[in-house]
Amino acid sequence: MKPKSGISISILPDHHDVLVSQKDQSVLDVALRLKIPLNHTCGGNGTCGTCLVHIVNGIESLEPRTEIESEMAEDRKFPDHERLACQLKPHDHLVVEIKKSN
């Protein structure tokens, strides 16, 4: 039996180890596909900031923020380890933690 291959990410705090589908364009897509609760009031357009996640592992391999995410990060003063799940492309061994709403 051939082992599964592909990109694997982890989503905390519930320790979901996930094999990413080719259809998953963002970390938000992965969470929605697996029914992992992740707020996204703007529908994944990067305009609300509710899908903010902490990067626990893999920050050095991330692509730069998109223009949309950069504007919000600058406006809201996000540190480098905070990213919008809707704008964040998954990569192998990425570990993110969903921020709990207040």
44-64 residue pLDDT tens:
999 999 999 999 999 999 999
pLDDT band at 2 (very low <50, low <70, confident <90, very high): very low
Domain of 76, CATH number, reads: 3.10.20.30
Q: Judge whether residue 5 has pLDDT over 70.
A: no
Entry pTM: 0.89
Give the largest Cα separation in the chain, rounded: 50
The total of structural domains in the chain comes to 1
**Angle, alpha carbons 64-68-73 (nearest 5°):** 70
| Closest to 26 in 3D by CA, of 42, 5, 4 | 42
Name residues whose C-beta falls within 8 Å of residue 13's C-beta, 6 or more positions apart in sequence.
Answer: 97, 98
DSSP 8-state code for residue 17: E
Which residue segment(s) compose the domain that 17 sits in?
8-98
Span 31-48, pLDDT tens digits: 999 999 999 999 999 999
pLDDT band at 8 (very low <50, low <70, confident <90, very high): very high
Within a domain: 1: no
Q: Judge whether residue 1 has pLDDT over 80.
A: no
